[in-house]
Amino acid sequence: MLESLGVTPSDEEAYRALLAAPGCGLTDLAKRLDRDLDDLAGTVERLEQLGLLTTTADQPIRLLPTRPDVAVDALVAVRRAELDRVRAEARVMVSELRAQEQHRPENLVEVIVGQEAIAARFAQLLNGTQEQLLVLDRPPYASRPGQSDPRVRGLLREGVSVQGIYSPDSLDVPGGVDEAYSAADAGETSRVHPQLPMKLAVFDRKVALLPLSVDQLVDSALVVHPCALLDALIEMFSLLWDQAVPVVPARMDPLDARLMTLLAAGFKDDAIARQLALSSRTVGRRVAELMETLGARTRFQAGIHAQRRRLLEDT
């Protein structure tokens, strides 16, 4: 019965004999079991180490068995502690194995096939984001309009830092400018860049999601795990961020701030007029006034000058 607790059958036999004759001596126990004294001495030593008996200081010594319930509870506790140590060590070994597997070339990049699968993987990565989300935003989109936005807002409510760089195309979709400013009002740090090279999302700087095709919505995307490619993607985001113009209005008139954002994004007067519900003549006149005030020769340069003069700032 006690073999699972580290007690051999012969040692258990001696313990049971002691329970029937507690306080007997070694010689008496040897006779009861019909065993050699030297062999039985080893059994007594092991039983004492396991806490199943104690020896008296009398001469000759007497052997006192421990109550079975107390002895077994102690043995179970010892074995449980040993198993816990083994379980903890196994988890360490699994962590080491996963770390090794992550650095295998075949595990550094996943290929996701199918728009639904891409959208589901994006949602999964969003749900696991705890500290920071970096996004290069440009169409086309795998998710349906407005599908991913509530999840991003949820991250903002949880205190996750969200940095988004918008392309002109993303602002040109119906309601795109209002959506960008709404995201900024919700806590997103937003900027606009006239030439985003690709779509990209980086989650906690640990994994990135990007499409296989830059300009077309295809049924495949890449998930990049920690490696030199992920480092390069994060560095590219940082460089684009430094070049981009903040979306959020700060010290200037809100209408002028939006106009400046659209200028920096490369919008023409007609497109700006459509976005801001103004006439093209009004936009052209205001653009000329702003560029003259800022000493800018190009529209994007006007946005950069505005940023340098702190007319536009991130919140």
Q: What is the CATH number of domain 254-308?
A: 1.10.10.10
State the CATH architecture for 1-99.
Orthogonal Bundle (1.10)
Task: Say yes or no: do domains 1-99 and 254-308 share a fold.
Answer: yes
**Range with the largest mean pLDDT of 81-90, 162-171, 232-241:** 232-241
Check whether 297 has a pLDDT greater than 70: no
pTM attached to this predicted model: 0.54
What's the DSSP call for residue 212? S
> Mean pLDDT across the chain, nearest whole number?
79
Band of pLDDT at residue 217, cut at 50, 70 and 90: low
Tokens of 49: 């180490």
Q: What is the pLDDT of residue 116?
A: 86
Residues 6 or more apart from 127 whose CB is under 8 A from it? 151
pLDDT digits (tens, 9 = 90+) for 300-310: 556 555 554 55
The domain locations on the chain are 1-99, 107-246, 254-308
Q: Tell me which CATH code domain 107-246 carries.
A: 3.30.870.10
The token pair at 11 is: 């040692």
Task: Name the residue with tokens 């309009």.
Answer: 145
Which 3 state secondary structure label does DSSP give 285?
helix
Q: Residues, the chain, total?
A: 315
d(CA 47, CA 44): 5
Helix (H, G, I), strand (E, B) or coil at 59: coil
pLDDT at residue 160 above 60? yes
Cβ–Cβ under 8 Å, residues 247 and 166: yes
Can you give the pLDDT at residue 96? 67
In the chain, the percentage of residues whose pLDDT exceeds 90 is 14
